[in-house]
Amino acid sequence: MEIFKYMKEYDYEQLVFCQDEESGLKAIIAIHDTTLGPALGGTRMWTYASEDEAIEDALRLSKGMTYKNAAAGLNLGGGKTVIIGDPKTEKNEEMFRAFGRYIQGLNGRYITAEDVGTTVHDMDTIHEETDYVTGISPAFGSSGNPSPVTAYGVYRGMKAAAMEAFGSDSLEGKVIAVQGVGNVAYNLCKHLHEEGAQLIVTDINKEAVNRAVENFGAKAVETEEIYAVDCDIYAPCALGATINDDTIPQIKAKVIAGAANNQLKEARHGDIIHEMGIVYTPDYVINAGGVINVADELYGYNYDRAMKRVEGLYDTCTRVFEIARRDNIPTYMAADRMAEERIEKMRKTKSTFIQNEHHILSRR
């Protein structure tokens, strides 16, 4: 992989490689853009097939965080970490302490939180070394696990998408196919079940599937069957790139709205589903609940304030649909336009010189 070429193409600021032999830490912190503020984004631990795959994931996810934070109206830039390793067998305390020291070394340019493969406990361990971590235990005055809040935001965004596609935001009786029933999707299924939706679920983890079947009366299907099921809404809630050349021809849903990051394998897949008349709720807009929640910690965490903001994701998604209709463009492009406009305005504002009293002239 030609790293600098890639970084230049998408205007990345910084890539940090963190290594600690004793603990087995191999982490990559990617900081995409800090125009709006310090980069905030979670830490993913995953068994990557190669180092290139891990680097690419960190880069793509951190850029997604720039857009997510901008679209959500947060004064934060975009960053993300990936740790190479199996979260079930290769974690240890020293690893997260070593990683915490690397974050501290960035002196606030990057703030972390949970993502796939990491937990509140891991964040607490990082917190032993640095304050630049969110989503730690509520006992520390923090917001805890972001997943239930992400799920609530996805639920709100899904309702906005239903309004756009079906003319009503009620999900009662709607058939919803959920791919991956992990931390976020389990909580999403709860909201959907309470509203009377019929759920079809799949997961590579059979226990996760059984939990959804038992608690929400969901119908289980094999992992490869989920795309082709008869449903109103497809909710991708596992990993990215599931909207691609192989899956698009199978999809019967009129709406795609889910928690996963980087759902479109390539931008052109967003064009194809747009032409098919599918209402696609851009991933980084609908799944911003978690980051909105942890970002509230920067002001002294207040649950009600954070939830009110997450509730507003309904309006943010509606705004994206409006821009898409107004400019006759796919929704993924409308979301990018919305985020980029905000960053560009701030970039221009920032270029105005502000006396910060950092040099001696202001003091003599």
Ligand X SMILES: NC(=O)C1=CN([C@@H]2O[C@H](COP(=O)(O)OP(=O)(O)OC[C@H]3O[C@@H](n4cnc5c(N)ncnc54)[C@H](O)[C@@H]3O)[C@@H](O)[C@H]2O)C=CC1
Ligand Y SMILES: CC(C)CC(=O)C(=O)O
Residues carrying an active site annotation = 80
In whole angstroms, how close is the CB of 341 to ligand X at the nearest point?
Answer: 23
Q: Which of 24, 69, 9 is nearest to 295 (CA)?
A: 69
Find the shortest distance in angstroms from Cβ 239 to ligand X.
5
Q: How far is the CB of 5 from ligand Y (least distance, A)?
A: 25
DSSP letters for 51-67: HHHHHHHHHHHHHHHHH
Q: Which is nearer to ligand X, 25 or 226 (CB)?
A: 226
315, 164 in Cβ contact below 8 A? no
Query: Pattern 119-138, binding to ligand Y, x per CB under 6 A?
Result: ----------------x---
Tell me the window of 27-35, 113-121, 297-305, 323-331 that interacts with ligand Y (CB under 6 A).
113-121
What pairing do the DSSP bridges indicate for beta strands 77-84 and 25-33? antiparallel
Provide the token pair at 244.
């691609």
Residue in 212, 162, 157, 223 with CA at minimum distance from that of residue 190: 212
Ranked by CB distance to ligand Y, the top (closest) residue is 42
Q: What is the nearest approach in angstroms of ligand Y to the Cβ of residue 113? A: 4
Side chain identity, residue 287: N
- Rank residues 221 and 329 by Cβ distance to ligand X and give the closer one: 221
For position 331 contacting ligand X by CB under 6 A, the verdict is no
Q: Work out whether 307 is an interface residue with ligand X (CB under 6 A).
A: no
Interface with ligand Y, residue 283, by CB under 6 A: no
* 182 is an interface residue for ligand X by CB under 6 A: yes
Q: How far is the CB of 87 from ligand X (least distance, A)?
A: 9
Among 38, 42, 77, 144, binds ligand Y (CB under 6 A): 42
Near ligand Y by CB under 6 A, which window of 108-116, 243-251, 336-344, 350-358? 108-116
Tell me which of ligand Y, ligand X, none is bound by residue 295, counting a contact when its beta carbon lies within the kind-specific cut-off of 5 to 8 angstroms. none
- For ligand Y, which residue of 294, 310, 334, 338 counts as binding (CB under 6 A)? 294
Report how far residue 301's alpha carbon sits from residue 293's, in angstroms, rounded to the nearest whole number. 8
b/e map 58-97, b = 16+ CB within 10 Å? bbbbbbbbbbbbbbbebebbbbbbbbbbebeebbeeebbb
What are the tokens at 330?
Answer: 């796919």
CB of 18 to ligand X, least distance (A): 20
Of 107, 170, 205, 349, the one binding ligand X by CB under 6 A: 205
Tell me, what DSSP letter sits at residue 135? S
CB 287 within 8 A of CB 127: no
Shortest separation between residue 144's beta carbon and ligand X, angstroms: 11
List residues bridging with 26 in a β-sheet: 19
Q: Does the footprint of ligand Y cover residue 247 (CB under 6 A)?
A: no
Among 113, 123, 233, 335, indicate the residue that binds ligand Y (CB under 6 A): 113
Residue 322 CA, chain-centre distance (Å), reads 22
Residue 184 near which of ligand X, ligand Y, none (CB within 5-8 Å, type-dependent): ligand X
Site string for ligand Y, 66-105 (x = CB under 6 A): --x-----------x-------------------------
Interface pattern 93-132 for ligand X (x via CB under 6 A): ---------------------xxx----------------
Nearest-Å Rg of the Cα atoms of the chain is: 20
> Token pair of 268, please?
């052109």
| Whole-Å CA distances, 62 to 7, 37, 66, 137, 277 | 11, 14, 7, 24, 29
The total of other beta-carbon atoms located within 10 Å of residue 8's CB is 10
- Residue 87's nearest CA partner among 56, 129, 117 is 117
State the pairing for strand pair 77-84/39-40: parallel
Strands 39-40 and 25-33: unpaired
d(CA 248, CA 263): 12
Q: Which parts of this chain interact with ligand X (CB under 6 A)?
A: 114-116, 146-147, 150, 179-185, 202-205, 208, 223, 237-239, 259-261, 287, 290
Q: Which parts of this chain interact with ligand Y (CB under 6 A)?
A: 41-42, 68, 80, 113-115, 135, 146, 261, 287, 290-291, 294
